[in-house]
């Protein structure tokens, strides 16, 4: 009985996470994101953050989980996030000149920068800044 309850709880949590509808950040490498963007004819949306950054946490916890954010980002972008102090982050930060957090990069599948957005904000204003070409 305990295992059945565990399975039901797991399925409910999985379903809830699946149905939340926010931005789908992929857990892939930078090169993997570029390859996926090329294959899917999308751009890459890269969240450059640090663990100690308050505005970064606000974007992750308040803005990106919103259904409207998912509706905007998921069809257009392969979305990834990198901690600029860990893993690939420091190298990517140097490569793209990231000097403030959060910084968001809109990248073409060849890895070139289409544009950069520094700082967060409310969803509508942020989407307007991302849409700028």
How does pLDDT run across 43-78, given as a tens digit for each residue?
Answer: 999 999 999 999 999 999 999 999 999 999 999 999
Does residue 78 or residue 8 have the better pLDDT? 78
Q: Does 56 participate in catalysis according to the annotation? A: yes
Q: Are 40 and 47 in contact (CB under 8 A)?
A: no
Q: Are 31 and 116 in contact (CB under 8 A)?
A: no
pTM summary value: 0.84
Tell me what pLDDT residue 12 has: 45
Q: Which of 19, 48, 53, 79 is catalytic?
A: 53
Print burial letters for 80-110: b (CB count within 10 Å at least 16), e (below 16): bbbbbeeeebeebbeebebeebbbbbbbebe
Confidence band, pLDDT 50/70/90 cuts, at residue 14? very low
Q: Does 53 participate in catalysis according to the annotation? A: yes
Q: Which two tokens stand for residue 83?
A: 């901690």
Partnered with residue 118 across adjacent β-strands are: 103
Confidence band, pLDDT 50/70/90 cuts, at residue 133? low
């Amino acid at each position: 009985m305990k295992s059945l309850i565990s399975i039901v709880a797991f399925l409910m949590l999985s379903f809830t996470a699946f149905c939340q509808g926010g931005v789908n950040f992929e857990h892939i490498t930078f090169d993997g994101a570029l390859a996926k963007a090329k294959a899917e004819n999308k751009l890459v949306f890269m969240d450059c953050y640090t663990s100690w950054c308050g505005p970064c946490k606000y974007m992750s916890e308040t803005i990106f989980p919103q259904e409207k954010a998912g509706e905007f980002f998921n069809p257009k972008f392969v979305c990834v996030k990198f901690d600029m102090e860990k893993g690939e982050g420091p190298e990517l930060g140097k490569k793209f000149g990231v000097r403030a957090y959060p910084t968001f990069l809109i990248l073409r599948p060849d890895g070139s920068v289409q544009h950069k957005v520094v700082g967060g904000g409310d969803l509508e204003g942020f989407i307007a800044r991302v849409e700028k070409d």
